[in-house]
C-alpha cells in the first residue's frame, strides 16, 4: 500500500484518553550525556518516572533540520551517531526502540498547514536517543522523530505544533530537544562544567520569564527580544524545538523548569515541562 493510501484509509491508531500527557522541552547539551550519569541525566530519569508511561514518544530534535517536514516511518529506526571526535563508547551505543508506522501516518494526516511526508531514511539522532535511553532504558516504547523545515518561519513551526495537540490525548509524549541558549562558536572550555557569560544568563532568565508568563508571541519573535538574543540563538535549529513544546500547551497548564544551568559559557541546559 502506498503512503498516500495509508493516509487516506488510516483510522486512529491510539484511543483517546481523558488525561493529557505532559509535553517536554529538553536541553540535551553534549552527546556525552548519552552515556554519562550526571545531574542532567538524573533529572531526565526523574521526569520519566513522574509521568504516565507513554504509548509512544515523538521527538522534535535540533539535529533533523530539513527542506520539508518529515516523520520517521519504519519498524525499527536506526541509532544515528551524528557527531565526531567523541570516545568510542559513545559510538557503540545502540538504542533499539521500535518505531510505529501507523502512528507516523496518523501524524502526517493531522497536518493541514504544511505537508508531512513519511521518511524511511532517517532514524533516531543524538537529540533523541541520548535523552530517551536514560528515560526509557528498556527501549520498549515506540519512538518517532519529526523533522523541522528550515524554510518555515518560527510562527509556522508553532502553528504546526498546535495541529498535533490531539496526540497528547492519546498517551503520546511529545518532546522538543535542543537548547534555549546555544552558541558553540563562543564556548568556553574553562566553564565546560558550569557557568555562563552574562548575556547567556540574561537570555536564559528572559526565556524562562516569558515561558512562565505564557508570552508565546514574544518567544516566537525571539530575534526582537533584545540584543543578546542573537548571541543566544545565532542559528535557529536548537531553539525551534521549544516552540513546538509551547505550541502544544493548553492555556493555564502547570509549567515547571528543571536542569536550569548554564554550561560552557554559551549554552544552557534549561528544560521545561508543561502539564
pLDDT in tens, the chain (275 residues): 444 444 434 434 566 656 899 999 999 999 999 999 999 999 999 999 999 999 999 999 999 999 999 999 999 999 999 999 999 999 999 999 999 999 999 999 999 989 999 999 999 999 999 999 999 999 999 999 999 999 999 999 999 999 999 999 999 999 999 999 999 999 999 999 999 999 999 999 999 999 999 999 999 999 999 888 989 999 999 999 999 999 999 999 999 999 999 999 999 999 999 99
Structural domain for 229, as ranges:
3-274
Position 226 scores a pLDDT of: 87
- What pLDDT score was predicted for residue 11? 39
Sign of CA dihedral 26, 29, 34, 37: negative
CATH number of the domain that 115 lies in? 3.40.830.10
Domain count, the chain: 1
Contact criterion met (CB below 8 Å) for 255 and 44: no
Over the chain, what HEC string results? CCHHHHHHHCCCCCCCCCCCCCEEEEECCCHHHHCCCCHHHHHHHHHHHHCCCCCEEEEEECCCEECCEEEECCCCCCECCCCCCCCHHHHCCCCCCCCCHHHHHHHHHHCCCCCEEEECCCCECHHHHHHHHHHCCCCCCCEEEECEECCCCHHHHHHHHHHCHHHHHHCEEEEEEECCCECHHHCCHHHCCCCECHHHHHHHHHHHHHHHCCCHHHHHCHHHCCCCHHHHCCCCCCCHHHHHHHHCCCCCCCEEEECCCEECECEECCEEEEC
Amino acid at each position: 500500500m502506498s503512503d498516500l493510501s495509508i493516509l487516506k484509509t488510516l483510522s486512529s491508531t491510539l484511543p483517546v484518553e481523558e488525561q493529557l500527557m505532559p509535553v517536554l522541552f529538553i536541553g540535551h547539551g553534549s552527546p556525552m550525556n548519552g552515556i554519562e550519569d550526571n545531574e542532567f541525566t538524573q533529572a531526565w530519569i526523574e521526569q520519566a518516572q513522574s509521568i504516565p508511561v507513554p504509548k509512544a514518544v515523538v521527538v522534535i530534535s535540533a539535529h533533523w533540520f530539513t527542506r520539508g517536514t518529515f516523520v520517521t516511518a519504519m519498524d525499527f529506526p536506526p541509532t544515528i551517531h551524528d557527531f565526531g571526535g567523541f570516545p568510542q563508547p559513545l559510538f557503540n551505543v545502540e538504542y533499539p526502540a521500535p518505531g510505529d508506522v501507523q502512528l507516523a501516518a496518523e501524524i502526517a494526516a493531522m497536518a493541514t498547514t504544511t505537508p508531512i511526508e513519511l521518511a524511511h531514511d532517517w532514524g533516531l539522532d543524538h537529540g533523541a536517543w541520548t535523552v530517551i535511553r536514560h528515560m526509557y532504558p528498556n527501549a520498549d516504547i515506540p519512538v518517532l522523530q519529526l523533522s523541522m523545515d528550515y524554510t518555515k518561519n518560527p510562527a509556522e513551526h508553532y502553528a504546526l505544533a498546535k495541529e498535533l495537540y490531539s496526540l497528547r490525548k492519546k498517551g503520546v509524549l511529545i518532546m522538543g530537544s535542543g537548547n534555549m541558549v546555544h552558541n558553540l562558536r563562543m564556548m568556553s572550555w574553562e566553564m565546560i562544567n558550569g557557568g555562563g557569560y552574562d548575556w547567556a544568563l540574561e537570555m536564559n532568565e528572559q526565556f524562562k520569564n516569558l515561558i512562565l508568563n505564557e508570552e508565546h508571541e514574544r518567544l516566537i519573535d525571539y530575534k526582537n527580544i533584545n540584543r543578546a538574543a542573537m548571541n543566544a540563538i545565532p542559528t535557529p535549529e536548537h531553539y525551534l524545538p521549544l516552540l513546538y513544546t509551547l505550541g502544544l500547551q493548553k492555556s493555564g497548564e502547570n509549567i515547571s523548569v528543571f536542569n536550569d544551568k548554564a554550561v560552557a559559557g554559551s549554552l544552557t541546559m534549561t528544560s521545561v515541562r508543561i502539564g
